[in-house]
Structures are given as structure tokens and as C-alpha cells.
Amino acid sequence: MTSDRTGEGNLRRVVAAVLADDTAERREAALLELTAADLEAVMHARFETAGAALARGLGASPGAAVGAVYFTAADAADAADRGEAVILVRNETTPADVHGMMVAAGLLTTRGGLVSHAALVARGWGTPAVVGAEAIVIDGRTFAVGDVVVSEGDVISIDGSSGEVTLGERGTASTGLPEEFFTALGWADEVRRDRLAVRANADTAADAAKARELGADGIGLCRTEHMFLSPDRLPIMRAMILARTPEDERAALAELGDVQEVDFAAILAAMDGLPVTVRLLDPPLHEFLPAVLDLEMKRAADGLSPEEQRELDAAREWAEHNPMIGTRGVRLAVLKPGLYAMQVRALLAAARSVRADGGHPIVEIMVPLTVSRPELALVRSWVAAEVAELSLSQVDQADITIGTMIETPRAALRAGELAHDADFFSFGTNDLTQLTFGFSRDDVERRMMPAYLEHGLLASNPFDTIDTDGVGELVREGTRRGRATKPELRVGVCGEHGGDPASIRLFLDAGLDSVSCSPYRVPVARLAAAQAVIERQNGPG
Ligand code: PEP
Ligand code: MG
């Protein structure tokens, strides 16, 4: 029997035992007996048959996937159009790969860790993914592991839980969600709902609907950049970046605003009556441009069109040595102030139209990467100007709040100051971990992390489970300092740790109001939050 089947059996047995003699105490005992693995066993397709692993990476997004390998997003998209099941194989993915990732049955990367782009996107969509499978060497349209060569179109199987990659097709079994799943989570909600809300990180109306189905209490992080990456949106974003005159920039921004308003309205409608935290644009601009190297190679091979030459110039201009600590987040907004104003305008207009249709949108506008109060105050003034411009009624305004992510050690230390201009905080523990340790989230999980874990230099991967003594201390202290200024300050977390059971315990103890994680982790987070509440009330005090 596989462990997945054991998980399903556990779930059925534990719930049935309570139903035979249902009391509040027995429900709580049952919740403590269940594990994340029990829930995950019924949520994702699994392999029925064993296979000899060709390679191993990190299981970054659970589930079993079988498909033909393709090595570029464009080839993956073409194969999916022909009806093929596809496994997209890349060294690592970037936002430019999103259209191929979207259609893939599974993702396999040779580099990167649990918070790499591929891992984050896959978990958000519930797509099985194995990342950092270092033994795999990609060469054009083939990959090799030792002597074994796998070519484009060959079928492989990947297990996003164990990280195993197998040659050929392994039989899968997908399970419908059993009644016991909903029963147990209903019990969990009764215990934790007033103590710790569980929201989802969702960027589209489809994600929002999925999150709601899986029991999310709202959206804790809508990463708006994903709205600009689809093939129909990217050219408008590039037109904004390449604009030579303020008029051209304004025109591109207006066009972006129109598409974004439609997206926001759909998300707010899908989450009607529940809070939606929309994060203003965060990534550095070069992520929306083709890679410098690709354009240089094309120039050498076939030459560039004038448009491509301008893209190359812009890509060079925006390239940075350390983009993750460069011109991104609110810093980018300071350089291109029209950007946030456009996003806020689109969001407010969307909220207004949802309300006009009889809905009740609850909007939280969130500023990324803030490090000081003046930065936050500046963005707040832009939002206030847009609110005034749209002449929103008092009723509409009551449902619009403004807050900041706490993603840098400085922001956590200066939380008392930031709280003056924030209605809420959300700890971005992916960046906060990266910046507290000085561990590049895109690089260290590949080589350094396994060695550190092996030598016992770290108890666990801090990108997976929150580092209690360092990053956890900043979360506790940031919350305390923020609330010292503003006792009613709402505080949440929206890094990947929001879906990790051990981290959820720390967030509850730190006094957070909510956690937010990928939609497919919401059930596990609901269970873990209930367990943390029960353990705390049973604990020594
Ligand atoms: C974070 O840094 O924790 C976060 C949620 O933002 P992102 O992962 O998009 O940088
Ligand atoms: Mg971040």
C-alpha cells in the first residue's frame, strides 16, 4: 500500500470514529490526529505503479504528471494545442515562460528551489512540479542523465511530492475529494476561524474561484504582475517601458489600466464579500523584456528589427546586478509614478462596477518592498488622489484600505513608524527570509542548502519552514512594534510560509490575524491553523 492510500484511509477512519460519538473534544482530538499528508493524499493525482527514478529533484508542487517533454514555452504551447500532455523542462523558468507553463501537465526544472519562479507558479496553479533536478543536463531539444538521453516528445513521469522523475508513463489514479475531507475541514474552521483567517494567494478570477472552493477566507496576495504577462498583455507592457515620450507612456498605461480593470472586476466578483489584497506592481521591469542574451544571439544570427533593437536597448538599460534588491516594488513606482496610479484607478473603477452590480467588494491595496514611512506616505497620497478623482461615496471608501508588505529587516524594525500610514501589514516572508539571511532565494537552494542541511548548519530549509529565531523574531517584533503604534493594525503573512504547518504555529503565537498561501495549500493551512489553536489552548499556558 502506498503512503497516499494510507493517508486517505486515515482521513476516513478518524472522521468515522468521531461521527460514531460526536463531541467537541473528540473533534479536536481527531483534528490533532490528522496530518497535512492525509489531506494532500486525497487532493492530488498520485501514481499507482512504482517506477525506477531516472533523477530526483525537490518535490515543489504535489501531484503526479505524465507527458511528453518540451524545452521551450512556445514548443510546449504548440504541443498542447495539438492535444498532447506536456511536461515543460527548463533549467529555470521566468515570467516569459508563463504561457508554456500554463498549458503544461507538469513542470521540471534543473535549478532553483522551493520558492523559485517555477515552484511558486506551479503551487499556485496546482500543477505538479519537480525543481532543482540537478542531474539533468539540458542540451537543446534533449536532456541527459548520465548515459540516458531523453529527446523532445519522449514521455516522462514526474512526482511533485517525492521529487522523482521517471522515464516513460506511470499509471496515475486521481481521487475525487471524499466527504470526510469537507467534514474534517469544517471542524477545523469552527476552531480557528475567529483566531486565524486563511486566505489564498490568487492572481486570476479562476484562482480566486478555486481558492473559495477550497475554503479560503479571502485573497491575501494578488500579484498583479501576472496580469501583464499573457501574450496579449505583454506587448502593451513593453510599449509602456519603451515609450519615448510622456504621451506614449500615458497611452500605454491607459491601455494597461483598461485590461487590468476587467481582471480586477472578475477577481473581486469571484471573492465577493471577502477581502482581496491587491499588491501593486513588484518585479523589476526587465522581467517584462526579452533576455539580453537572446536578443544579442538573434542580432548575431538574423539581425534585429527596429522594435527588437529598442527592446535590447531597454533590456540593457533596466538590467541590474542584483535585480531582487534593485529597482523593484515601491522603488520602481517612485521612478514611474504613473504605474501605481494607473493600477489604483483600475482597481477602484473595478470595485465600483462590482458594487453597481449589487456586489460587495472589499479592497486592500498593498505596497511591496517598503522600507520607510515616507515611501508609504507617498503611495498613500497617490491612492487618496485617485479616490478623490473618482469621487467615491463614503460607503465605497469604507471598504478600501491601504497597507504595506513587510519584506525587509528594516521594514520590520521600523514597523512602529510604518504603522502610522498602514491599515494593515503583510509579512512577505519569502523576501524577508532572503534579506535576513542574505540567501538569494533563486540560488541557494540548488547547491548550498543541501550541504547546509546535511552538515546540520540549518535545522530546516528557511524558505520552507520559517526560521524561528531570526526571521520569526522579525515577524514577532514587527507585529509588536506596529501594534504599539496602532493597536487595531491587521497583520498577516503572504510568503510561502503561510501554507506551512510549523510556520503557522509561529504566526499564531506572534498574534497574526491571517495567513495566505497558494489555493491548493489552503486546506492544509486550515487544518494546521486549527491544530495550532488547539495546541495553544491545551498548552502549559
Ligand atoms: C514574499 O516576498 O514573501 C512575497 C509574498 O512576495 P514575492 O514572493 O512575490 O516576492
Ligand atoms: Mg516579495
Select the CATH number that applies to the domain covering 46-173 from these four: 3.20.20.80, 3.50.30.10, 3.10.20.600, 3.30.420.10: 3.50.30.10
Is the predicted pLDDT of residue 76 greater than 70, yes or no? yes
**Amino acid 293: pLDDT:** 87
Ligand 1, atom 9, residue with closest C-alpha: 223
Does residue 63's CB lie within 6 angstroms of at least one atom of ligand 1? no
Q: How far is CA 40 from CA 175, 181, 493, 519, in A?
A: 11, 10, 22, 13
Residue of 528, 413, 537, 422 lying closest to 476 (CA atoms)? 413
Residue 2 pLDDT: 42
Q: Which pLDDT band, with edges at 50, 70 and 90, does 5 fall under?
A: low
- The ranges assigned to domains in the chain are 46-173, 199-219+255-283+332-524
The CA distances from residue 238 to 125, 134, 244, in Å, are: 26, 33, 12
Q: Whose CA is nearest to atom 8 of ligand 1?
A: 430
- The CA dihedral of 354, 211, 499, 400, to the nearest 10 degrees, is 10
Q: What is the pLDDT of residue 247?
A: 93
517 is catalytic: no
What is the CA(48)–ligand 2 centre distance, in A? 38
pTM of the prediction?
0.87
Is the C-beta atom of 279 inside 6 A of ligand 1? no
> In the structure grid, which three cell numbers stand for residue 254, read together?
491607459
**Whose CA is closest to atom 1 on ligand 1?**
428
Taking the centre of ligand 2 as the mean of its atom positions, its distance from the CA of residue 328, in whole angstroms, is 10
Backbone angles phi, psi at 535, to 5 degrees: -60, -40
**By three-state DSSP, how is residue 35 classified?**
coil
For 11-23, the pLDDT digits (tens) are 999 999 999 999 9
- Nearest CA residue ID for atom 4, ligand 1: 428
The CA–CA distances, whole Å, from 29 to 49, 185, 225 equal: 34, 14, 43
Beta carbon of 515 within 6 Å of any ligand 1 atom: no
Taking the centre of ligand 1 as the mean of its atom positions, its distance from the CA of residue 78, in whole angstroms, is: 31
Say if strands 129-131 and 106-109 run parallel, antiparallel, or are unpaired.
Answer: parallel
Q: What span, in angstroms and rounded, lies between the C-alpha atoms of 414 and 427?
A: 13
Pair type for strands 155-159 and 64-70 = antiparallel
Instruction: Please tell me the class of the 199-219+255-283+332-524 domain.
Output: alpha beta
The helix (H) or strand (E) run that includes residue 294 is helix 292-301
Rounded-to-integer distance, Cα 140 and Cα 157, Å: 20
Residue from 117, 226, 286, 497 carrying the catalytic annotation = 117
Closest ligand 1 atom to residue 115 Cα is 8
Cα(495) to centroid(ligand 1), Å: 5
The pLDDT tens digits for 128-185 are 999 999 999 999 999 999 999 999 999 999 999 889 999 999 988 766 899 999 999 9
With a 6 Å cutoff on the Cβ, whether 441 touches ligand 1 is no
Q: Which residue has the cell 499507482?
A: 48
Residue 223 Cβ inside 6 Å of ligand 1? The answer reads yes
Give yes or no for residue 486 CB within 6 A of ligand 1. no
At 437-484, the pLDDT tens digits run 999 987 887 778 888 988 999 999 999 999 999 999 999 999 999 999
For 194-241, the three-class secondary structure string (H helix, E strand, C coil) is: CCCEEEEECCCHHHHHHHHHCCCCCEEEEEHHHHHCCCCCHHHHHHHH
Ligand 2 centroid to Cα of residue 291, in Å, is 22
Cβ-based burial of 232 (10 A; exposed 0-12, middle 13-18, buried ≥19): exposed
Q: Give burial (CB, 10 Å; 0-12/13-18/19+) of 25.
A: exposed
Inform me whether the pLDDT recorded for 342 exceeds 90. yes
Average pLDDT over residues 320-337: 91
Share the mean pLDDT of the chain.
93
C-alpha of residue 457 to centroid of ligand 2, in Å: 25
Whether residue 222 lies in the annotated active site? no
Identify the burial level of 285 via C-beta atoms within 10 angstroms of its C-beta, where 0-12 means exposed, 13-18 middle and 19 or more buried.
Answer: buried
Q: Say yes or no: CB of residue 221 within 6 Å of ligand 1.
A: yes
